[in-house]
Structures are given as structure tokens and as C-alpha cells.
């Protein structure tokens, strides 16, 4: 009469195999099955084997929700990156996932699009999911985000930077010092007229900001502080590298060295230089940052800073695994970057014999 056609229940079709089913088949209690799975060494070997056989026969797998409920551990870690479009982040995430997977952890991924509000929301949703650890990128995070983390009592680590505020441990490189070294290298080559292209448009991109500061500091120390027009701000696209170079050379046609805070920008700048008929490095030296795969293959190959992204990812995984287990963990890990001198940089064409570092020529 009023019987509606049967609706397939939304849940799992096949009635899941439960620990109790295994227990019954093996003629033991559920407790024993649980022990076989979690503490195999405290179960008599023959019994353990028998139970194991039945577990395999029934293709039993534990319900992770029930497990998590009882144990309070999800065996899950979350990562929030600005974007996956940057190879350097993708590489780090991949290494992170691989290492976590080895230890039985699963990785949640989210992206913030360089937006702190979004980062906060994604983190909130991850925490509600009950993650056991969090990986962030960069040093600058809203204070409400920090209090959210604190309140959740979940271990965190932030990556790609050498240190972060708010007591958050970090693993990464010292961005500022890297560009400072790069700048000093160019100074040693004899360059005196510099330009910088930095993707500092996104408010939360503290890496590029630190890199820019490294450039500025080195040049100030050398008595050649950058004028505002010698710094072109961009986002992280290749096309912006092009237009940035054009603008820079419009304002300062005599520039001989351009330092970019990203390989993407540098590659864009090189493309534009070529189009403008400027020889690299004869007329213009260009350097990047990140050492993406393409950098070495450019013509000429790009001088840049190599960032150990995979190592950062692995290190973050190890840190969290230990922190979750309650093992002691380092406060922060500073990894070495590597300056990779290729042939997109050279002494300026009409370089006077490299003066002994023109420290106080003008002041």
C-alpha cells in the first residue's frame, strides 16, 4: 500500500566486516583480535597466527573512525600551502607525503592562495577533522591563527623559512642571507647598477620580502642603496617578470644586474631581455631564486639559489611524527641553501677592474 520503492541506503553497500566477525570466526574475543593488530607481541604466537589468517580471509580492515574516536589519534597530518602551482611547493608536499606515508600517516592538503583569511579557514576545517599535526608555509600568520593552533594543542611546523614568530618552530632556509650572498657575489663581479624584481604583492609572502631585504641590505652595506624605482614589485607570474624588466630598464637603462626573488620572474626577465635585444650576461646579468628544473636548461643557464624543497618536506614530516609521539624535537631547523653560479651572470661589460669592494665611493 504505502510501501515506497526501496531506496538504496546511502551508507556502505556491503555490510562492513567488523572486528566482532573476525572474533567469532576465530573463536576468540574482539579484544584479542584488537591485540593481534595493535600489540602482536603480547599474544601467544599460534593464536596470533590463527587470528591473522581469519583477518586476511575476511579482508578485515579496522574502521578508522572508531579507532580515532577511541584513541584520540587520527594518524593524519594537514598541510596548507599558498599554491601548488609553484613547483617548489609541489616538490615539498610530495616529499612530505612520501615520508608520512612510510610512517602510516595520511596527508590532508589545502591551499590558501596567499590569503591569510583563507589559510585560517582551511586550518579551522582541518582541525575540526582532528588532524594530529600541521604543516604551514612561511613566517607570517595571523595572530588568530596562532591562537587557534594553541587552543587545538596540535603540533605545528612552518616551512621554507628559517624562523617564524609566535613560538612556531620552522624548517627551511635563511632567505635573507641567501639573497645577501647573491648580491655580494654580483658586487664582487663589479656590478654597481642594480635592479630588483620581487614578488611582494601578496601580503603574506614573507619569503620574497625577506629576499628583497637581503638584497637591499647587501647593497646598503656596499654604499649602493636601491632607490624605490630600482625595485619593481610583481606577483609570481612569468609574464610579470617580463613587464617588470621592461619597466626597470625604462627607468634605469644603465642597469647591469637584475636580481629576482623567484626563478619564474627571472625567466620572464630573461625572455624579455632577449626580446629587447639585450645580451645576457654580456649586457645584463640576471639571477633567480629556487633553482627550478628549467633554470639549468635556460640559455644561458640561470644563476640562482637552490632551495632544498624535498629535504624541507621530509624534515617537516619527521618533526611532526616525533612531536606527535611525544619525542623531543628541535626548536627549529635551518637548512643550507646553495648558490648556483651559472652563466646568466658575469662581470659587467665595461667593468673597471673589480675595485676592492667600492665601499665608500660616494656616500
Partner DNA sequence: CCTAATCCTGAAATCGATTTCAGAAATCGA
Partner DNA sequence: TCGATTTCTGAAATCGATTTCAGGATTAGG
C-alpha 117/C-alpha 142 separation (Å) is 8
Nearest CA among 245, 214, 221 for reference residue 232: 245
**Least gap, CB of 47 to DNA (angstroms):** 4
Instruction: Find all residues with CB under 8 Å of 179, minimum gap 6, and list them.
Output: 210, 211, 212, 213, 214, 215, 218, 259, 261, 289, 305
3-state DSSP assignment of residue 8: coil
CB closer to its own copies, 119 vs 174: 119
Comparison of 122 and 318: residue with beta carbon closer to its own copies? 122
Q: Is 134 exposed, middle or buried (0-12, 13-18, 19+ CB in 10 A)?
A: buried
Which residues sit at the interface with its own copies, rule CB under 8 A?
Answer: 7-8, 10-14, 59, 61-66, 68-69, 72-74, 76, 83-85, 87, 90-91, 93-94, 97-98, 101, 104, 106-111, 122, 125-130, 151-153, 237-239, 242, 264, 267-268, 271, 274-275, 293-294, 297-299, 325-326
Long-range contacts of 326-333, Cβ-Cβ distance < 8 Å, separation of 24 or more = 329/169, 330/169, 331/169, 332/162, 332/163, 332/169, 332/170, 332/171, 333/169, 333/170, 333/171, 333/172
CB of 40 to DNA, least distance (A): 10
Identity of the residue, 69 or 352, whose beta carbon is nearer to its own copies in the bound complex: 69
Nearest-angstrom CA–CA distance, 340 and 296: 9
Q: Nearest distance from residue 272's CB to its own copies, in Å?
A: 9
Least Å distance, CB 62 to DNA, is: 4
**Which among its own copies, DNA, none contacts residue 268 (Cβ within 5 to 8 A by kind)?**
its own copies
Partner in contact with 42, chosen from DNA, its own copies, none, beta carbon below 5 to 8 Å by kind: DNA
- Pick the closer one to DNA by CB: 43 or 309: 43
310 binds, among DNA, its own copies, none (CB under 5 to 8 A by kind): none
Burial of 343 (0-12, 13-18, 19+ CB in 10 A): middle
Whichever of 239 and 334 has its CB closer to its own copies, that residue is 239
Query: Which of DNA, its own copies, none sits in contact with 240, Cβ below 5 to 8 A by type?
Result: none
Amino acid at each position: 500500500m504505502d510501501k515506497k520503492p526501496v531506496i538504496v541506503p546511502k551508507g556502505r553497500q556491503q555490510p562492513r566486516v567488523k572486528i566482532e566477525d573476525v572474533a567469532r570466526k576465530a573463536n576468540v574475543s574482539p579484544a584479542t583480535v584488537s591485540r593481534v593488530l595493535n600489540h602482536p607481541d603480547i599474544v601467544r604466537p599460534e593464536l596470533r597466527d590463527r587470528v591473522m589468517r581469519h583477518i586476511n580471509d575476511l579482508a578485515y580492515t579496522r574502521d578508522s573512525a572508531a579507532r580515532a574516536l577511541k584513541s584520540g589519534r587520527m594518524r593524519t597530518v594537514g598541510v596548507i600551502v599558498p599554491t601548488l602551482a609553484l613547483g617548489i611547493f609541489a616538490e615539498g608536499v610530495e616529499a612530505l607525503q612520501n615520508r608520512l606515508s612510510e610512517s602510516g600517516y595520511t596527508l590532508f592538503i589545502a591551499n590558501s592562495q596567499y590569503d591569510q583569511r583563507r589559510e585560517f579557514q582551511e586550518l579551522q576545517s582541518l582541525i575540526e577533522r582532528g588532524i594530529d599535526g600541521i604543516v604551514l608555509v612561511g613566517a607570517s600568520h595571523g595572530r588568530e591563527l596562532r591562537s587557534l593552533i594553541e587552543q587545538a594543542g596540535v603540533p605545528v611546523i612552518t616551512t621554507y623559512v628559517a624562523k617564524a614568530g609566535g613560538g612556531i618552530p620552522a624548517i627551511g632556509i635563511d632567505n635573507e642571507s641567501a639573497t645577501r650572498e647573491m648580491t655580494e657575489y654580483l658586487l664582487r663581479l663589479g656590478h654597481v647598477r642594480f635592479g630588483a624584481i620581487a614578488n611582494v604583492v601578496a601580503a603574506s609572502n614573507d619569503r620574497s620580502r625577506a629576499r628583497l631585504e637581503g638584497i637591499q641590505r647587501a647593497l646598503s652595506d656596499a654604499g649602493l642603496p636601491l632607490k624605490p624605482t630600482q625595485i619593481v614589485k610583481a606577483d609570481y607570474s612569468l609574464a610579470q617578470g617580463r613587464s617588470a624588466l621592461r619597466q626597470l630598464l625604462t627607468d634605469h637603462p644603465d642597469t647591469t644586474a637584475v636580481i629576482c626573488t623567484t626563478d619564474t620572474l627571472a625567466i620572464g626577465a630573461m625572455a624579455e631581455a632577449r626580446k629587447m635585444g639585450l645580451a645576457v650576461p654580456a649586457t645584463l646579468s640576471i639571477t633567480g631564486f629556487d633553482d627550478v628544473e628549467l633554470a639549468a636548461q635556460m640559455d644561458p643557464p640561470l644563476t640562482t639559489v637552490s632551495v632544498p624543497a624535498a629535504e624541507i618536506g621530509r624534515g617537516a614530516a619527521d618533526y611532526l611524527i616525533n612531536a606527535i609521539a611525544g619525542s623531543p624535537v628541535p626548536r627549529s631547523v635551518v637548512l643550507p641553501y646553495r648558490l648556483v653560479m651559472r652563466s646568466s651572470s658575469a662581470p659587467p661589460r665595461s667593468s673597471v677592474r673589480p675595485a676592492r669592494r667600492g665601499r665608500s665611493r660616494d656616500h
